[in-house]
Structure 1
Amino acid sequence: MNQEIVSVDLGSNSFRVLKYDCKNHQIISEYNEVVGMADGLVDTGLISKEAQERVVRAILHSVEVINYDPSKAVCVTTAAMRKASNNKEVLKYFKDKTNIEFEIIDGFEEARLTLLAVQYALKREKIDSKKFILLDIGGGSTEIIVNTNNSYEAHSFDFGIVTMTQKYLKYHDLHNDLDSRKKQIQEFLSSLKIDLNDYSFVATAGTPTTIAAIKLGQDFFSYDRNIVNGSIVNLEDLEYSLNIFKNSSKEEIAKLVGRGRVEFIEVGIFIYKAIFEVLNKKESIVLDDGLREGVAINYCLNKCKN
C-alpha cells in the first residue's frame, strides 16, 4: 500500500501542494505559489481567464517540482470557487488542462479539516490542545473554530484578505466594515456561552505566519516553517509589522511577504488585530499547518480505517 498522499489547496490567493507520509505523519515536500484566483471576483462574480491560466501554470509547475500524478492527488478549493458563478466551467478547464480534479468544499468542511491539521500540529509542538480558539484568515473567507476537548463549534465568515482589499479601498470603509464583522464574531462566541479566558488563541494561514516570520528575522526567501511553528505573536508585533510596511517600498515589502501578497498584507493584519480585540487576547500561537495538511491527514486516517 502506498503510504504517500499529495493534497492540494487552491485558495482565493494561494495555491498550496503537499506530499505527505501517511505512516509517519510527516511532510515529504511542499509547493506554494500565489495565483490570485480571486482577482476581480468582487466586481465580476467570475474567475477571470488570466487567473485560470495562472492556476494551470502553477499546477503544471508543481507537478514538475514535487513529482506527483495530478489525477491521484486529493484536491480541494474554497471561498473564491464557492462564490464564482463560472466555477463549473473553470473546474472542467483545470481537469482538461492538467488532469487535476478539485472538490469545492464548504466553510464548515474547510474548518473541520483545518482544525484537524492544527490539532496534530499542537501535539507535535507539545502545546496543550484541549481548549483553543483557532483563527484561519483566508483570501475569501475567515474561519473561527472553538475547540473544547473533543468537540468543536465552527463558523465561516464571508470576508477575507483579498475580497476585503478589493471591496474597500479607503481605510475608513474598511474599519467600519471590520467593526460590523467584529460584532458578528462576538455574537457567534456569545452564543457558545464559554469563558474566553479558558481558551488559548491559535492562528494559521499567511498573515499570522508572515508576522511571526518578520518577528523571527525571516523574510519570504528565508522562511522556515519549523521555526515559525509554535511561535508567539502579540499585538506589538502587529503594530511593528504595520510600521515596517508603511515605511517600505513595494519591492522591500515583496521581499518580506512574497509577490502577489503585498497589497493584501495590511488588510490581513487589520483582520488579525480585530480578532485579538474580540477575544481580548494579548498573544496568539502561530502555526503554518492548515487546510492542505488537514486534507492529507484526513485521507490518511480514512485510508487506515478501510
Structure 2
Amino acid sequence: MNNEVVSIDLGSNSFRVLKYDCLNNKIISDYHEVVGMADGLIDTGLISSEAQQRVIKALKQSIKEINYDPSIAVAVTTAAMRKASNNKEVLKNFEENTGVKFTIIDGIEEARLTLLAIKYALKREKIDSSKFILLDIGGGSTEIIVNTKEKYESHSFDFGIVTMTQKFFKHNDLQKDLNSRKLEIKKYLDSLDLNLNDYTFVATAGTPTTIAAVKLGQDFFSYDKEVVNGTIVNLDDLKDCLSIFDNSNKNEITKLVGKGRVEFIQVGIYIYQAIFEVLKKNESIVLDDGLREGVAINHCLETKCEG
C-alpha cells in the first residue's frame, strides 16, 4: 500500500481524484466530476452551501468508487478557495463530513506541480520537453509556465473560464476583457526576453482536452485520455469547435463536453485562442495530465527521498 498514493485536485469547476502507483509511475484508477465550486463566487466572495454539498457528495462518491482512505489522501485546492472569504469554514466542513483534509496552494505551487506532471507526460509521449510554454486554463485562474531545460518561470493570471464567464454574463464585454488579458500576458512574456520561436506550445486542462477530443471524434462519454494525450490542436480546430457549439442545442453540447461545462466552454476557447495569438503560434500539443498527477508524482518523489 505504501507504493500507492491518492491525490485530489479540487478546482473552481472540476473535482479530480487519482490513485497512483509510485513504483511503476502508472495511474491505477481515477475519478472526475464537475462540481461548480466557484458558482456565484464573483458576486458573493463565498463558496455557497450548494457548492459545498456538491463537493461533499463528489468526495463520498470518489471514496466509494476508487476505494481509498480519505484521511491519507493528498488533497489540494486552488483559485476559488484562495479567493473565498469563508475558505476556513468550508475546508472544516469538508473534513468533518468526508475525512479529507485539503491544503490551499498558491499559484506558484500550482504551477510547479502541474509542470512536474507535464514533464513526465511529455517524456511518456516521447515529445521533446526541453523548451516549451505551458498553458493551464483553470476555472478561477490561468497559469502560464515557461520551461527552459531545467529552469522555469511561472505566472498565475487572475482569470479563468468560470470567473470570466460570470463577469461576461454580467457586463457583456468579453472581447474588451480578453484584449486587456492579452496585453497583460504579452507584458509578462516580454519581461522574460524570449525567442518564442524556440518554444513549443503545450496546453492542459478541460478546454484544450475537449477540443482535442472533438477533433478526434470523441464526446464526453467516449473520452479516452490516452488517445487525447499528445494530440496537436491548431487554430482551425478552435474555430471548428466554436462553429459546432454555435450550431448545436444545449443537449448536443452537453453530450460533447459533459454536464456543468456547457456555459463555460466557449469562453474557454476564446481564452485559448487569445494565448495562441499572444504566442504567435498556429498549433499546440494537448495533454490531459495536470495538477492531480503532479500532486501524486511529487508525493511519490518525497516519500522515496524520505525512504
Q: How does the TM-score come out when normalised to structure 1?
A: 0.99
In structure 1, list runs of 5 or more residues that go unmatched: none
In 2, the alpha carbon distance for the partners of 1:153 and 1:173 equals: 31
The percent identity for this pair of structures is 74
In 2, the alpha carbon distance for the partners of 1:54 and 1:270 equals: 28
Matched with 1:166 is: 166
TM-superposed CA distance for 1:170, in Å, is 7.1
In 2, the alpha carbon distance for the partners of 1:171 and 1:91 equals: 31
In 2, the alpha carbon distance for the partners of 1:193 and 1:284 equals: 21
**1:81-123 per-position Cα deviation (integer Å, ceiling 9, x unaligned):** 0000000000000000000000000000000000000000000
Matched with 2:29 is: 29
In structure 2, list runs of 5 or more residues that go unmatched: none
In 2, the alpha carbon distance for the partners of 1:262 and 1:139 equals: 13
1:292 partner amino acid: R
In 1, the alpha carbon distance for the partners of 2:22 and 2:103 equals: 21
Matched with 2:277 is: 277
| Secondary structure class of the residue paired with 2:210 | helix
Q: Work out the number of aligned pairs and report it.
A: 306
1:14 partner amino acid: S
Which residues in structure 2 correspond to 1:4-43 (within 5 Å)?
4-43=4-43
**1:153-173 per-position Cα deviation (integer Å, ceiling 9, x unaligned):** 000000000000001127951
TM-superposed CA distance for 1:2, in Å, is 1.2
1:242 partner amino acid: L
Q: Does 1:195 align with 2:199?
A: no
In 2, the alpha carbon distance for the partners of 1:63 and 1:199 equals: 40
**1:124-174 per-position Cα deviation (integer Å, ceiling 9, x unaligned):** 000000000000000000000000000000000000000000011279511
In 2, the alpha carbon distance for the partners of 1:172 and 1:292 equals: 33
In 2, the alpha carbon distance for the partners of 1:170 and 1:72 equals: 41
Q: Does 1:95 align with 2:82?
A: no
Q: How does the TM-score come out when normalised to structure 2?
A: 0.99
Cα gap change, 1:172 to 1:99, in 2 (>3 Å): closer
Q: Does 1:125 align with 2:125?
A: yes
| Secondary structure class of the residue paired with 1:166 | helix
| Secondary structure class of the residue paired with 1:169 | helix
TM-superposed CA distance for 1:208, in Å, is 0.1
Matched with 2:178 is: 178
Q: CA RMSD in A?
A: 0.9
**1:46-70 per-position Cα deviation (integer Å, ceiling 9, x unaligned):** 0000000000000000000000011
Matched with 1:106 is: 106
In 2, the alpha carbon distance for the partners of 1:156 and 1:2 equals: 33
| Secondary structure class of the residue paired with 1:38 | coil
2:112 partner amino acid: R
Which residues in structure 2 correspond to 1:231-250 (within 5 Å)?
231-250=231-250
Structure 1 stretches of 4+ with a deviation exceeding 2 A read: none
In 2, the alpha carbon distance for the partners of 1:232 and 1:280 equals: 16
**1:178-213 per-position Cα deviation (integer Å, ceiling 9, x unaligned):** 100000100110011110000000000000000000
